[in-house]
Amino acid sequence: MTDLYRLLPEEMEQLVVDMGYPRYRADQILLPLYYKFPKVINDIPQLPKKLREDLTEAGYTIGSAKETHRVVSDDGDTTKLLLNLTDGTPVETVLIQYPSSKINGHPRSTICVSTQIGCAMGCVFCATGQMGFEKNIRAEEIVAQVIHFADILQQRGEHVTNLVFMGMGEPMANYDEMIRAVRILTHDRGFGIGQRNITISTIGLISGIDKLAEEDLQVGLAISLHAPNNELRKKLVPTAGPNSVEDIIEAGRRYFKKTGRRVTFEYALMKGINDSPKIATELAILLKGNGSHVNLIPINPTAGDFNRPTQDSIREFERILFNAGVNCTVRIEKGIEISAACGQLRIDIVG
């Protein structure tokens, strides 16, 4: 069985040619796949019946994610879904809308996709990390998460404007499937989202960052730093291993040099752990002068005994970075009441 959502447009072309059909038939599959979201091959009426039969006989299918739970935040801006993958594994996917930020009259609509079930990195504050690693998500299953929301949005006259790889799992630890999904989703004959509207977030796997820089893609990179020194980082990211803070920052610099895309450092702020003015100063010294951007994320209390800092200490942390000339924003966490941090809904429902 091969899911048609797994194929790059060039591969789709090769497939129809190999089956003895003219090349243009590929577009008659691709267009409906990415604009009409059919659930089965027979939902593509413009394809000759014989081709539909040939595809089915050759074991091609259209995979889709089956929604089993939906939670919407009180303000309606965040929708979190549990989707069953084709093998029945539940995965978390989130839509975050920003009604005040309009793109061509439509609200900015960001989909947050998962790349793994669980995660082997074991970050102590992360619900997904505490689950341990279960399995990698295939490219077509990453695409299916986006298609599911694209369908929901289309019915409201809206569309997906941005994509972030910030759901469950470490994208760089599932590199080949992640990059295949990015190529399908950004291909102008595929889903067609702009490369610049995608951000890939990593815990700092250096080989993955360097590989991504060579892909000739204009995707954004976010590196989850969380600490300005190795001693503290190791406590928060126990698997950080040989990837030192300095090496990770250096890899971010190489990514910027190669792609021209600014790198964002994510920093989950935890009360009494990594939020002191001393640590802010250390972080400022580490990052100043290299044009990096810091995204401060007040922690969503999930795993372990981690709490959000007070508003005052968040502001103070931000001020220290700002005064050192380090570009910094505080991420307004949307949907905290629906367990918006990655992995939380799945834990609430599946355990």
296 near ligand SAH, rule: CB under 6 A: no
263 near ligand SAH, rule: CB under 6 A: no
Whose CA is closest to 221, among 143, 284, 164, 285? Answer: 164
Give the residue with the Cβ less far from ligand SAH, 184 or 268: 268
Q: Which of 12, 85, 203, 296 binds ligand SAH (CB under 6 A)?
A: 203
169 near ligand SF4, rule: CB under 6 A: yes
Give the residue with the Cβ less far from ligand SF4, 148 or 346: 346
342 catalytic? Reply is yes
Give the residue with the Cβ less far from ligand SF4, 203 or 284: 203
Q: Which of 79, 93, 186, 201 binds ligand SAH (CB under 6 A)?
A: 201
Beta carbons of 177 and 115 less than 8 angstroms apart: yes
Q: Which residues of 317-336 are buried (b: 16+ CB within 10 A; e: fewer)?
A: bbebbeebebebebeeebbb
Give the residue with the Cβ less far from ligand SAH, 3 or 266: 266
Residue 87 DSSP symbol: T
Give the residue with the Cβ less far from ligand SAH, 30 or 168: 168
Classified as helix, coil or strand, 198 is strand
Sign of CA dihedral 266, 334, 127, 318: positive
Beta carbons of 37 and 150 less than 8 angstroms apart: yes
333 catalytic? Reply is no
**Phi/psi class of residue 291: alpha, beta or left (left: φ > 0; alpha: ψ in -120 to 50)?**
left
**Closest approach of Cβ 346 to ligand SAH, in Å?**
13
299 near ligand SAH, rule: CB under 6 A: yes
Whose CA is closest to 67, among 99, 95, 29, 30? Answer: 95
Determine if residue 170 is labeled as part of a ligand binding site: yes
270 near ligand SF4, rule: CB under 6 A: no
Determine if residue 337 is labeled as part of a ligand binding site: no
Cα–Cα distance, 223 to 171 (Å, whole number): 11
Beta carbons of 304 and 342 less than 8 angstroms apart: no
Cα–Cα distance, 83 to 246 (Å, whole number): 38
The interface partner of residue 149, options being ligand SAH, ligand SF4, none and the CB cut-off 5 to 8 Å by kind, is none
Near ligand SAH by CB under 6 A, which window of 15-23, 39-47, 243-251, 298-306?
A: 298-306
Cα–Cα distance, 184 to 5 (Å, whole number): 8
Beta carbons of 136 and 113 less than 8 angstroms apart: no
268 near ligand SAH, rule: CB under 6 A: yes
Q: Which of 128, 162, 186, 292 binds ligand SF4 (CB under 6 A)?
A: 128
**Closest approach of Cβ 142 to ligand SAH, in Å?**
13
Q: Which of 30, 297, 321, 326 binds ligand SAH (CB under 6 A)?
A: 297
Determine if residue 226 is labeled as part of a ligand binding site: yes
CB neighbourhood size of 303 (10 A): 20
Near ligand SAH by CB under 6 A, which window of 84-92, 195-203, 244-252, 317-325?
A: 195-203
Residues constituting the chain: 351
> What is the identity of the amino acid at 36?
K
Report, as residue numbers or ranges, the catalytic residues: 92, 342
Binding site for ligand SAH (CB under 6 A): 125-126, 166, 170, 201-203, 224, 266, 268, 297, 299-300, 302, 341-342
